[in-house]
Chains A and B, each alone.
Chain A
Amino acid sequence: MGIDVPWPRPGTLRTAAALAGAGFRRWATYRQAMLAGAFTNTIFGFLRCSVMLAVAGGAGGVAAGYRGPQLVTYVWVGQGLLAVVQLWGWTELSDRVRTGDVQSDLLRPMHPVLTYLTADLGRAGFAMCTRFAAPLVVGALAFQLYVPHRLTTYPLALLSVLAATVVSFGVRYLVNLTAFWLLDIRGVLVAWMLCANVLTGLYFPLAFLPDWVQPILWYGTPFPSILQAPVDVLVERGSAAHQLSILAVQLGWAAAVLAASVLVQRRAERRLVVQGG
């Protein structure tokens, strides 16, 4: 069971596309929850945006290198991206480990990491069309958003969002994989929540933290790559070269967390005891 190396084999691409499509359609059915989530993101957008504008106002227009409109965009894009990278509450895999359902994942001809990743990308695609777009539209109507000056920023930002989703998926997958050892992953989830809220740049832009912390966070942890990175690319904080270096860090982390997922998955499968089997 289980195929160890997740490299494409004949038909993998078509399967992946089908899985991504299924992920998209599956999430498109939860319409009420989608609307409720977008509404909540919008309210938090107003709250955080007011705070950030007060910070910019108090700091004389520029706070840690961000101008007012850049901070406004930071808030609204951040609220939209929350659902795209699905920062909170993904326990699907760990639930399946606990119930034993995970065995059917292992029987499939595609590597589990790749299966879950493609389905997650489909979900993220749907979130981009709805959960990302809705708060951004409201933010644009109510506040003055920063509009990127360089045309190259748009494709770079899209790539950055894609990389952010992959990094977030990898970290969530690793968090869920701990269920093979722990079964109950509540403690790990709380630790992940802590990192997700603060170290990704959701609560405040990471540039507000002391300078010496920055390289440790960006190079030493995957968290800034999940939220702060795509936002910084989009609001053009720094030159085009800086944008590319952010993207490079993200791609590095995406590769690292996926590789770690595959490795840990291999170890985990040896631990698997299907309960009540």
Chain B
Amino acid sequence: MAEHPRATAYRALLVAQVRAQTQYRFSFWLDAVSSSVVSLLDIVAVLVLFRATPALGGFSVRQCLLIAALGNVAFSLADASVGNIDTMRQYIRTGRLDSMLLRPMGVLPQLVFGDFAPRRLGRVLQSCLVLAGTLIWIDPQWTVGRAVLVVAAPLAGAVIFASVFVAGSTVAFWFVESGEFANAFTYGGRDFTLYPISIYPGWFRKIFAYGLGFAFVAYYPALALLGVADPLGAPAALAWCSPLIAVPAVLAAALVWRVGVRHYRSTGS
């Protein structure tokens, strides 16, 4: 009984947001185009680095580009769907979260649907085009497995990024002025996935690659697509584990979120 009206309410929130933001047409398109150009620069940066060096951590420019392109798709998908959650710290600081708690809807979907930014879809399109272009350039030997992987890996990666976005936003429940703290793991995670994990120092790699699961976003799937063995000696089967990592990531994020909401005491004003 409760399910259906809620779905309608969420859809109404979403449609209202899309309509509101597309009203200012010039501003909307300028935003959509320029923010996808900004994220394209991450890929351009990889190419610029290869002007100064023939190889990065033992990987060629094509191999690195594939890693970066996979990471870029995963991040842009997560950013488009839940990236706006980082506005939550403003909701907490100004006390507006209180009114969200009073409504008969979940706070998380309210934030996700109510702040949905359709301009971020420009980035998704851009990153998919870059991935397609890269795949045409490197021309991997296609098998059914690899075809499945090239679709499944960015989706699983997006789920991992989305979990980090949600878990990171909860820091504001404890530290109201936490500012850019979560960016270290969301945008930092994006930067991490753009390059082969073999270039990072040991303990740092352990935290980001395995602790937060970022190695499974782009690096291992790219190795399988390229048919290259991991220079760090991990078994080839890890390439297929991204969805298995995504599930506990979601569960952990959901748990942290619940604890955070319960902990919320309002800023009082």
Which chain A residues have a beta carbon within 8 Å of chain B's beta carbons?
30, 32-33, 36-37, 39-40, 42-44, 46-48, 50-51, 53-59, 63-64, 142, 184, 186-187, 190-191, 193-194, 197-198, 203-204, 208-210
Contact = CB atoms under 8 A, between A and B. Distances in A.
Contacts of B41: 194, 197-198, 203
Contacts of A184: 27
A39 B184 contact: yes
B176 interface: yes
B52 A33 contact: no
A44 B191 contact: yes
Contacts of A204: 45, 48-49
Contacts of B191: 44, 47-48
A90 B183 CA distance: 18
A187 to B, nearest CB: 5
B34 interface: yes
**Interface of B, helix, strand, loop or mixed by DSSP:** helix
B34 A59 contact: no
B244 interface: no
A46 B34 contact: no
Nearest to B178: A36
Interface stretch (B8-16, B76-84, B195-203): B195-203
Given A47-B192, A208-B48, A209-B48, A194 B184 contact: no
A59 B177 contact: no
A245 B54 CA distance: 31
B37 interface: yes
Contacts of B204: 46, 50
A190 B35 contact: yes
B137 interface: no
B255 interface: no
A191 to B, nearest CB: 7
Interface in B227-258: none
A197 B187 CA distance: 14
Contacts of B177: 30, 32-33, 36
B210 interface: no
Contact of B188 (A33, A36, A40): A40
A270 to B, nearest CB: 26
